[in-house]
Amino acid sequence: MRGIRLPWRGVLVYVQGLTDNLPVRGPTMMKVIRAKLHGIRVTNADLNYHGSITLDPDHCALAGLYPMEFVEIWNKNSGARISTYVIYGEAGSRCCVLNGAAARTCQVGDELIIAAADYCGPEKLYDLRPRILTFLPDNQIDQVLNYEVFASDARPYDFRIVDADRHTLESCHTWPNVDVAAIRSDLAAKGWSEADIDAFVETHFSL
């Protein structure tokens, strides 16, 4: 039977059995990113609807976001940070609607980061590989990325961002609000070679 010492009238008194039902600390658990929509634009705000965020189920399925799942929302335009739950809108609509009290935190066109979390120990980070979707101004998906933790020569827990399909660093970019695919098409229409286009994109729009 376990106990604990408590102060009583200036004296430490040992109380036996007081801690028997307290949980025993287990392995270290961390709150980590599990899925993210990065740069999606607000398409509407409905103050009088049930509090939530309405998202395109196609976007959610690709990222791994579930209906009724709580998410953190960070507004890049206003700096507002809120938490609410996901509901599904019309598939293919590319919607992003803040409902209820959340509607007070945004304007149509604001750029949001929407993140879902999970809990795990450090040893599970290698297997996590959260999926990240980035968006163009019309809420079309620009990139599908994975965050990866890996053991490098420099440290046991290193980090990289890779293309989810090609599993490469080279095909990723972090240039905001730029439709790289459209730029590639325009350059090809101007007669640029594939090698020249690749070199241009790598120089101006790569990680």
Domain boundaries, the chain: 30-172, 174-207
pTM (whole model) above 0.85: no
Per-residue 3-state assignment (H helix, E strand, C coil) for 155-206: CCCEEEEEECCCCCCCCCCCCCCCCHHHHHHHHHHCCCCHHHHHHHHHHHHC
Catalytically annotated residues: 52, 85
What pLDDT was estimated at residue 13? 44
Confidence of residue 180 (pLDDT cuts 50, 70, 90): confident
Higher pLDDT, 196 or 180: 196
Residue 122 in 3-state DSSP? Answer: helix
> Does the domain made of 30-172 have the CATH classification 3.40.50.1000?
no
Which residues have CB under 8 Å from 165's CB, separation 6+?
144
| Amino acid letter for position 84 | T
Each residue's pLDDT tens digit, 85-111:
999 999 999 999 999 999 999 999 999
Query: Cα(50)–Cα(150) distance, rounded to whole angstroms?
Result: 41
Under 8 Å between Cβ of 49 and 100: yes
Strands 52-55 and 81-88, by their bridges, are parallel
Per DSSP, the three-state class of 92 is coil
Q: Summarize pLDDT for 146-173 with one digit per residue, the tens.
A: 999 999 999 999 999 998 877 666 566 6
